[in-house]
Amino acid sequence: MTDAIEKIPGVGEKTAEKLKEAGYVDFMNIAASSAGELVSAAGIGEETANKIIAAAREQMQIGFDTASKVLERRSNVGRITTGSKELDKLLGGGIETQAIVEAHGAFGSGKSQLAHQLAVTVQLPKEKGGLGGNAIFIDTEQTFRPERILDMAKALGLDPKKALDNVLVARAYNSDHQVLLAEKSEEFIKEHNIKLIIVDSATSSFRSDYTGRGTLANRQQKLNRHLHYLQKLADVHNLAIYITNQVMSRPDVLFGDPTAPIGGHILGHKATYRIYLRKSKDTKRIAKLIDSPSLPEGECVFKVIVDGVRDI
């Protein structure tokens, strides 16, 4: 399938080489792209890019399908256990592939702990709630701790050394670097059997790079493109995306919870599932599902201990 793109009308040897270097290695990669992406990746004209995309989509037979066929494709969706049966139940069976799951909450609410837990549980075989795959962890807040991977792997009976080697970690220093790492991750997906991409947090770099109301539009556009790219990776490679998000305090709210997630409507609409996490007593955490395409709103309680995320 790697050499198949050379058979697309308008793709010569040099263009194919440039596309492959940019990560466009098969019909699906090209079919799911925009003309602008191909123009910048391969240095071709916009008209040529549109023709190449149209040809790839024709090869993939992309168009309208019946709902029954969509349901059939949904049978390929996998789920990753969170380590808590109650939290899995809230999410309809765990963290879903072909979707973006966003968890937001104040510091200490368990967002990063859940990220570490998923990086381990994704390695479990399917019969134990995993996908038998590996994880990419894009760290924007210096939250990644290999020691937690060791603790959680030992608790699940996994080889700690192998568990560490199965998590690819990159530190993002600004929003441009974060976007680049997400794009770079596509090169590792097939080679390293990646089934989960974690971005912790998705909004921190954008928040620090774009300050003031005057930069809000640019920030949101860039964040939108970033999230669309992550969704494309989830769809094309049938993997799960887990992102964490910061919250801000709203002093105008006099009653109820005064916190609100960063990212506005862009992030709200792009995330398939949204979970609000908050800290309770001791090791207890409360998860509230606030948005889902098919599941009702609900809450559950779990705990975060040395072994990882568990039921109370």
pLDDT of residue 22: 77
pLDDT tens for each residue of 96-107: 999 999 999 999
Q: Is the pLDDT of residue 221 over 50?
A: yes
Domain ranges of the chain: 2-60, 73-311
Yes or no: domain 2-60 corresponds to CATH 3.30.420.40? no
Q: What three-state secondary structure class fits 87? A: helix
Q: Which among 7-16, 58-67, 87-96 has the top mean pLDDT?
A: 87-96
Continuous H helices in the chain: 13-21, 27-31, 35-42, 46-60, 67-74, 85-90, 111-121, 146-155, 160-165, 175-184, 186-189, 204-209, 216-237, 264-270
Residue 236 CB neighbour total at 10 angstroms:
17
189 near 239, Cβ under 8 Å?
yes
Mean pLDDT across 45-57: 88
Q: Is the pLDDT of residue 189 over 90?
A: yes
Supply the mean pLDDT for the chain. Answer: 90
Measured CA angle at 97 (ends 223, 122), to 5 deg: 105
Q: Which amino acid is at 31?
A: A
pLDDT of residue 245: 94
Q: Is the pLDDT of residue 3 over 50?
A: no
Sign of CA dihedral 305, 287, 79, 29: negative
pLDDT of residue 264: 74
Higher-confidence residue of 246 and 259: namely 246
pLDDT of residue 258: 59
Q: Is the pLDDT of residue 1 over 50?
A: no
Q: What three-state secondary structure class fits 269? A: helix
Mean pLDDT across 201-227: 88
pLDDT tens for each residue of 23-46: 777 787 788 888 888 888 888 889
Q: Is the pLDDT of residue 259 over 50?
A: yes
Sign of CA dihedral 5, 7, 8, 11: positive
pLDDT of residue 2: 42
pTM of the model: 0.82
Which homologous superfamily does the CATH classification assign to the domain defined by 73-311? P-loop containing nucleotide triphosphate hydrolases (3.40.50.300)
